[in-house]
A and B are shown apart, each in its own frame.
Chain A
Amino acid sequence: MLVVYYDIAIIGSGVVGLFIAYELAHYRVRVIVIDREAEPGFGVSKGHAGVIHVVQPPFNSLRSKLAIEGNKLYDGIAKRLHVRVRRLSTLLVARNPIHLIALPAVWFILNRVYGKHGFRVRVLGPRELRKREPNVKGLGAIEVNNYGVINSFELISQLYNFCTLNGIDFAFNTEVVKVKVLDDGVAILTNRGEYRARYVINAAGLYSADVARMFGDEYRLEFGKGVMLVFWGEQTRNIVAPLQLAPNPKTKGGAIIPTVFGTTIWGPSLSMSDRGDRSVNEADIEILNEKFGGLLRRRDFIPIRAYAGVRPIPEGDDFIITYSKLSKHIIHLVGIESPGLTAAPAIARRVIEMLRDAGAVLTPKDEVREVDPVVMTKSIIEEGGTINADQGEVVCPCMGVTRADIREAIRRGARTLDGIIFRTGLGMGICQGMCLGKAIKVISEELGIDPEKLTKSGGNSWLVTR
């Protein structure tokens, strides 16, 4: 079998692996990204709420440091990659007089920690809260600015496009089975053949401990499941969460989150689970209702969808970013859970430094190609431009997705229904995929395959038969 040689192999094409590949795309190195899934971002990156966080407790942790750095990098990256980011605040709402009395003390603590890093913390009185968030019930709130929500699917897609445009190779549906450390690098044996690389970066998310173990490095991971409930329409302007003075593990984390799509997410909840479990259970939804239901004045919003994500929680509850005990040519990123999306740009920069320290020669390329913005038909219409026939063939009326949009998503790498959904928003609205019949036909036509061969997300996720 043919063995392909690379300078650097990245295992995992989630947001972390992609950001590392994105950084490496600026240098004269041959890079391969290997992923067991059918498309980039189908693992941990598939199941979060798309929030750009600020300081994280515990405040002295690596993940807090990297989240702060990452947060500050996002506007520039989003601009360069043409990804929608919406900056907003988080409001911690006081629901009872005890909370209200505690507000100044909470402010004092948060302001010291957050203020040091340039995040603004303010106390909002009842009138100001009402003015800022007419739909929120509360006596007052603490406001922390500089949060963000991002179209994380668009981010994944644009990172991937930037990488392919700049010569990075990808191997999907490719599972690492075994590794062998050789004198001049590492042999990576997969179900689809062997790759050799001088440096290996383990960004395998839920499988990061397994990959590390192949190198003889032991880490223990637990898996946490977060459930999110999506509503049609915008309930709040900012991220809103109840102020919690005493931590309650049952209702830890989560918020009411306005998305870039005009929908609202409640969540995530957090419960321990196993790696393959993305089920949504009644108890999860009850926790969300209990936690967030009482915060809103108007509650007649239609819940359209619930989904779950799984995160790898490492021992010691902090990101592990380290060389293998075996060799500095192997870098493990283990347990990159929340706020992994926020931290990812900063993690990537740290990994580049670690590669340099390990002796990798990174010479900047003379020229780096930039990605085009994704222009959906609906924005052409909104701006009064002219459209051609395929731009006028609407497949999903609810989210305004046309045949031309589907073709463009395919051109940018979509190979599955989920790949199209993530890039276009198709079927994600109130219509629940009422358009899926037509969508399956059009996607198959545009991919040039039989509809029976199209899958939702690879593997056994077939969609139709005859």
Chain B
Amino acid sequence: MVGYTIIGAGLAGLSLALELRKLGIDFEVIEHRDYAGGIHNIVPEVRDVINELLREVDVRFTTTAMRIDGTVYAVWRGGYRRLIDNVVVATGFRVMTMPELGIYGDRPAGIYPHHAVLDMLYYGLLPGKNIIIYGDNTYAIYLAEELMKRGVTVKIVSPIKLGAGTLRRAAEVIVGRVRYVKGLGRVEKVLVDNEWVVADTLVISMFKPFNRFPEFRAVGQAVIETYDPGIIIESGRIMARELASKSRDFIVIDSDLPIYPGNRVSRDVRRVIIPCKGCKVIVNDKEYVINGDAAVIDLPDVERVSIRRVVS
């Protein structure tokens, strides 16, 4: 098959797929889970967008990309094939690890990464009855709401203050860091800063971009640290146009910041994403202020572009 294999039917993968379709490029979308949407499955507004995309794009569910030694395969019920070229990774964020987060203590049952709980909800299961969600982002809030709808007690622990507008239901928010977990069989209590909070479950909703197959290009939260659905969709569009571009002209970017989709972009597309929360950047001689966690920037039609962060 000539065309692209997109790993992951979340917002990024589906956006990329739709854009490729518009550009007349062949592709397939494979999805490990038996549902689409990934982390946005429980985010109502984005779920609507995903449902729209699913009307346009076919997805092969229960089809998983996995690495065996050095080789990447797509595996489905009854078959597999090697993934060699023309692959785009759209597998989204990974969940941060306990050592990364500095959470010490016991390792009883009842500590779950965010995504495990998404699957539980999908299968009609609950991770516990008295839950602490540790997260500094909107996904933590949506998960709290979804769990509370099912009659579960939820507290959100966030290292930073969460925007008041984003909390529509009354989930209790504790500002602080989870430091220690106690429990022999099951989680019994969790130390937040210097205070013990009784809970039977700890859900980790702190994320990092992670491309599990770095030999391939990636879109969305697999490479960009953003919580803005608009940025994720845009990354899919940029990647589609990059893949479609037949031009041999490139813009070389000299930057001290990570630039999506990379430091060499097609001159046809001339569009990049700069993930840098609240930063001020200078693109050649133009100054931009990034309001959210990332910004889409159209580059000037020149051979070389310099992007610098202004540290004030």
Contacts and interface: CB of A to CB of B under 8 A. Distances in A.
Bound pair (A, B) = yes
Interface of A: 229, 276, 278-282, 285, 302-307, 377-379, 381-382, 387-390, 392-394, 397-398, 400, 402, 417, 430-438, 440-441, 451, 455-457, 459-466
Interface in B65-123: 65-69, 71, 73, 75-80, 94-95, 97-100, 102, 104-110, 112-123
A281 B104 contact: yes
Interface of B: 32-33, 62, 64-69, 71, 73, 75-80, 94-95, 97-100, 102, 104-110, 112-129, 182, 184-186, 204, 210, 212
Nearest to A400: B66
B116 A307 contact: no
A434 B102 contact: no
A398 B72 CA distance: 11
A460 B99 CA distance: 25
Nearest to A394: B64
A305 B99 contact: yes
Nearest to A456: B109
B77 A461 contact: no
Contact of B80 (A303, A307, A381): A381
A278 B126 CA distance: 27
12 contacts: A280-B104, A280-B107, A282-B104, A302-B100, A305-B99, A378-B68, A390-B77, A437-B120, A438-B119, A460-B184, A461-B108, A465-B126
Contacts, number: 159
A379 B128 CA distance: 36
B116 A433 contact: yes
A437 B75 contact: no
A432 B77 contact: no
A125 B108 CA distance: 46
A229 B97 CA distance: 12
Contacts of A417: 109
A259 to B, nearest CB: 15
Contacts of A307: 107
Looking at B33, B106, B109, B129, which has the most chain A CB atoms within 10 Å of its CB? B109
B196 to A, nearest CB: 14
Contacts of A392: 75-80
Of B75, B78, B107, B210, chain A has the most CB atoms within 10 Å of the CB of B75
B111 to A, nearest CB: 8
Contacts of B66: 378, 394, 397-398, 400
A394 B210 CA distance: 20
